[in-house]
Structure 1
């Protein structure tokens, strides 16, 4: 089971009933296994009975008359213990796999909850930002008075929740993607993607992009995101990829320069050139049962060919 100290991530998974139930079953299985009394395997039990009998013989010179019965009893009890021990281990693994499967298949529900929590954080941050009146540091908030100071305190307390939302977001997305997708997400996060939607990274102030890249947020960062209305939590890897593509690819493609008007245009019909007939031309006589076609009248002269070397020999 994925252990986490992030309270918002635990809260997000708790809102998904199937995952919450699976988590409860897993924790109960872990408790059963850990509470199961330690014991011996059948081989260990037989070894213990054998060693005890040998030690007694060496001390007294007498072989135990109940050795076979004692060995059979110890072996049977060990078999029962081992069977339950193995069953409890497999129960824990089974409930763990079930919980992990549900977390992966229902990750969108957890991300959707994180998106709702982000909206609450940003709504509060927006109101606090308006109360600041342009204050950007703690010193300025102290000088500005009680209202600005209270707003500054609210913002600084919201920063922890904002960090937890972002950490939970990336934790969920990493868990449900393969190694190649995780590598792309690391690259996208380093470029400043995954927190702002509908805005090209080039159009975001540099200090805001730096905050997203490094994960170091301050009050000014939080106010900007809240007032821009562009903060979001991707609901899946595909959602994140689509937003990255929209924020980085050009709006239109132009591989051949400016657009050219290719609409139809009316042009005058050209006069057809009459067929050229030469003195040696003959109309094909295709049907022997018909009279021979009359000789055509020449209307063009065949140009002389260029002289070659053989003409002078």
Structure 2
């Protein structure tokens, strides 16, 4: 989770406060490490005391009588500083890993929330679309006026909410996937996937597919989406991949009817009885 200006994403993450709390802990750890004053390592501290003692002897011809005390204090201070610096670095790494693990494990909850928001938006859009009728432009809506114009305005405001939901979903999916998966998602998004499921892409009207690929959402597209009842928010990378595969897999037809087995039959070998078999062996008498 990162700081965001997308209200839909912020609201979605707010449904899982543990993630926000873990992120706050990590950000606080980062600030502690950055604000920690610069110090010296034990090696640097000892080298400094030695340099000062040598400089003193060079100037005065006298070796500092408190040299041992200076060395002990410098070393002790440096060890304490280095220990805390290392602890703060470890704290930053640990809280980062904890926040990322929690975010990954609860990302499904966030995406399910966004899917619910999508359905809410499209329910309102469907009602407004019925009022709109065949109107597809702002000019037509202004000319019609009344309820039609109100419906157009309502749909226009819903466009922003819809776009925020879509952007939020992609942001979450990118955050919880690896580099290779992110590359595939970008290609899928550019091809128009991730908007609908249970619909083959070659069955989507051309002007609708153009909007899916460009992301330049329109009122007409929003109404079509609401009427189709096929819009969804993928709840995971696997969910998205399944939808992509289902919408692009080639259709298979059998134009030849049922399969007939034409392989040669194996007929049991015939057996023959010798001639005379079955006759009475006794001689014929009159």
Shorter chain as denominator, the TM-score bin is 0.7 to 0.9
User: Deviations for 1:190-213, whole angstroms, at most 9, x for unmatched residues?
Assistant: 332211122222222212111111
Q: Which residue of 1 aligns with 2:282?
A: none
Q: Which has the higher helix share?
A: 2
- Deviation of 1:66 after TM superposition, in Å, equals 1.7
Q: Which residue of 1 aligns with 2:258?
A: 260
**2:170, 2:90 → 1: CA distance?**
31
**1:165, 1:251 → 2: CA distance?**
32
Q: Which residue of 2 aligns with 1:177?
A: 177
**2:126, 2:49 → 1: CA distance?**
75
- Deviation of 1:51 after TM superposition, in Å, equals 3.1
Specify whether residues 206 and 75 from structure 1 end up closer, same or farther in structure 2 by C-alpha distance, changes over 3 A only: same
**1:189, 1:40 → 2: CA distance?**
51
Q: How does 1:84-163 map to 2 (within 5 A)?
A: 84-145=84-145, 147-163=147-163
Q: Which has the higher contact order (CA 8 A, sep 6+)?
A: 2
**1:184, 1:130 → 2: CA distance?**
37
Matched residues, number = 270
**1:110, 1:89 → 2: CA distance?**
30
- Deviation of 1:26 after TM superposition, in Å, equals 1.5
Q: Which residue of 2 aligns with 1:216?
A: 216
Q: Which residue of 1 aligns with 2:263?
A: none
Structure 1: which 5+ residue stretches go unaligned? 263-272, 278-282, 284-292, 297-313
User: Deviations for 1:82-136, whole angstroms, at most 9, x for unmatched residues?
Assistant: 1011111111111111111122222211110110111122223233333434332
Q: Which residue of 1 aligns with 2:165?
A: 165
Q: Secondary structure at the match of 2:202?
A: helix
Q: How does 1:1-313 map to 2 (within 5 A)?
A: 2=2, 4-145=4-145, 147-249=147-249, 253-254=253-254, 257-260=255-258, 283=274
Specify whether residues 54 and 274 from structure 1 end up closer, same or farther in structure 2 by C-alpha distance, changes over 3 A only: closer
Specify whether residues 242 and 294 from structure 1 end up closer, same or farther in structure 2 by C-alpha distance, changes over 3 A only: same
- Deviation of 1:295 after TM superposition, in Å, equals 9.5
**1:158, 1:61 → 2: CA distance?**
84
Compare 63-72 and 95-104 and name the one that shifted more.
63-72
User: Deviations for 1:142-195, whole angstroms, at most 9, x for unmatched residues?
Assistant: 333354444333333322322222222223223333445444433433332211
Q: Secondary structure at the match of 1:106?
A: helix
TM-score normalised over the length of structure 2: 0.79
TM-score normalised over the length of structure 1: 0.73
Aligned-residue Cα RMSD (Å) equals 3.1
Structure with larger Rg? 1
Specify whether residues 69 and 252 from structure 1 end up closer, same or farther in structure 2 by C-alpha distance, changes over 3 A only: same
